[in-house]
């Protein structure tokens, strides 16, 4: 079970208000106690942006986060606690202040070939597939391809020298001690066609590129972990994920949230048959990276309009499905934040260690707009309360860690009866039933084995089980 960690917002180790490696190292016990066994670090490389996805030096740590030695200590301590750490690696583009791009602008042909430049005026008509925005940006009188905005010029991997550079970058971070990578924008390496002058995903070329890089990394570390970020239909996700080993299941995240929001277990069951289809067979080609939210999405409680019971039900459903769960930092506290593509700081706010919004380890790099002080969601308040939202999420995560076999189980059947979602799974010949009550009141179930509460309330009688509203249980 991985924890998506934004270093800038998590824990400040030197008192400058910005999260860093020293702070995160001191908080590893917190993650361990939460039940976390893996950490996904958002980009840590030198970058002018607060989010870090526009890199200006692939071989150094952002000075605000510390040094390479600080990173190494963090990795060593995490490993000592049994945690793997993967690094978010945005290889698709750089920042415009990267030395490569600056040299390219100055006329250096060697570096110029690392980017894609306008060759035909008609190319200016090209638009992004998802929002029809322009993809060509102009600087110093020259047009360059920048799919994710003017500050992020795309790298041109037609250049064989650049491909070798990418391998050296990955080798560098693996040698430091990272256990693998989450590859950002994996389907965008080749996404512009010079033949048609349009944005077109060239999936076969992308997959060949990633196969070359992952094989290189596995020669260094045979157990390296790779996660692909591909927002697309399940069949496209399958193509990439079989190369990486883990693929984020975006359709699953939406299926769970959309249907729990309106309390429609029937539609959720239908969706699960589609988005979790690989877990119905005997051969699983790759692991599904399961999640509810991430840094590019509205936070869970905001999505659920503040309804904690629905958010907890979503967590419960997530943890009873096969795959590898990824938990976005702060979701265990119920942090809020609405996603905005052009200003996504709302869901990247400081982790609220203290109710005051200030104190040892507390980051203060931005205002607490969505999660203000004295709102009762801080760890200081919730960590000491038995029935707090945090305590209930923690119990759900502990349940999943204790029953880690769920990650590799086979789904036998998904059905709905009387607004209750039933999920039957099998592992090593043993069948287990998960039950999620979507009703606003308790339901009585026939007793078919020993029941373990996942979240909510449960009462066992001689021949029946009473599962309270919005509660979840495992029956063996």
Q: Which residues are tagged catalytic?
A: 184, 229
Alpha-carbon distances of 151 from 19, 136, 379, 475, rounded to whole Å: 24, 11, 36, 52
Closest-CA residue to 343 (of 129, 10, 51):
51
Q: Which of 177, 225, 221, 220 is nearest to 72 (CA)?
A: 177
Are 112 and 143 in contact by the 8 Å Cβ rule? The answer is no
The CA-based angle 165-248-475, given to 5 degrees, is: 145
DSSP string, 327-389: EETTTTTT------TT-GGGGSPPP--STTS-STT---SS--SSS-TTSS-SHHHHTT-TTSH
H or E element that contains 417: strand 410-417
How far is the C-alpha of 84 from the C-alpha of 82, rounded, in Å?
7
* CA R_g for the chain: 23
Beta bridge partners of residue 225, listed in sequence order: 180
β partners of residue 41:
5, 87
The helix (H) or strand (E) run that includes residue 314 is helix 308-319
- With beta carbons less than 8 A apart as the criterion, state whether 51 and 61 touch: no
What is the sign, positive or negative, of the torsion defined by CA atoms of 57, 60, 65, 71? positive
Q: What is the dihedral of CA 327, 330, 335, 336, to 10 degrees?
A: -60
């Amino acid at each position: 079970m991985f924890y998506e960690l934004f270093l800038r917002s998590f824990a400040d180790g030197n008192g400058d208000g910005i999260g860093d490696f020293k702070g995160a190292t001191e908080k590893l016990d917190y993650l361990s106690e939460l039940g976390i066994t893996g950490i996904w670090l958002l980009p840590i490389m030198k970058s002018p942006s607060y989010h870090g996805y526009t890199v200006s030096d692939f071989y150094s740590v952002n000075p605000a986060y510390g040094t390479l030695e600080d990173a190494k200590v963090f990795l060593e301590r995490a490993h000592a606690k049994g945690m793997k750490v993967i690094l978010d690696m945005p290889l698709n583009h750089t920042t415009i202040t990267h030395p490569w791009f600056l040299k390219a602008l100055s006329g250096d042909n060697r570096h110029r070939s690392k980017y894609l430049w306008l060759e035909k005026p008609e190319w200016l008509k090209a638009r992004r597939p998802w929002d029809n925005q322009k993809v060509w940006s102009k600087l110093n009188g020259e047009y360059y391809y920048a799919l994710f905005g003017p500050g992020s010029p795309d790298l041109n991997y037609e250049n064989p020298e650049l491909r070798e550079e990418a391998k050296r970058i990955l080798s560098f971070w693996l040698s430091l001690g990272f256990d693998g990578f989450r590859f950002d924008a994996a389907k965008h390496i080749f996404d512009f066609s010079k033949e048609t002058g349009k944005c077109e995903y060239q999936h076969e070329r992308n997959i060949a590129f990633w196969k070359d890089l992952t094989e290189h990394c596995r020669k260094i570390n045979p157990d390296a972990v790779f996660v692909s970020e591909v927002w697309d239909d399940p069949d496209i996700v399958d193509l990439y994920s079989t190369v990486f080993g883990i693929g984020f299941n975006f359709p699953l995240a939406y299926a769970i949230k959309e249907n729990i929001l309106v309390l429609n277990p029937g539609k959720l069951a239908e969706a699960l048959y589609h988005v979790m289809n690989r877990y119905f067979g005997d051969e699983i080609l790759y692991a599904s990276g399961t999640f509810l939210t991430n840094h590019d999405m509205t936070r869970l409680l905001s999505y659920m309009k503040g309804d904690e019971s629905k958010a907890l039900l979503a967590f419960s459903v997530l943890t009873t499905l096969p795959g590898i769960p990824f938990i976005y930092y702060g979701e265990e506290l119920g942090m809020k934040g609405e996603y905005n593509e052009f200003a996504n700081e709302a869901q990247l706010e400081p982790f609220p260690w203290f109710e005051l919004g200030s104190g040892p380890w507390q980051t203060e790099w931005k205002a607490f707009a969505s999660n203000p002080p004295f709102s009762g969601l801080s760890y200081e308040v919730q960590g000491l309360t038995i029935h707090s939202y945090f305590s209930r999420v923690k119990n759900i995560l502990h349940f999943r860690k204790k029953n880690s076999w769920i990650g590799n189980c086979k789904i036998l059947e998904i059905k709905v009866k009387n607004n209750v979602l039933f999920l039957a799974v099998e592992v090593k010949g043993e069948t287990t039933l998960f039950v999620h009550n979507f009703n606003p009141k308790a339901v009585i179930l026939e007793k078919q084995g020993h029941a373990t509460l996942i979240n909510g309330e449960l009462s066992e009688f001689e021949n029946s089980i009473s599962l309270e509203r919005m509660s979840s249980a495992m029956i063996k």
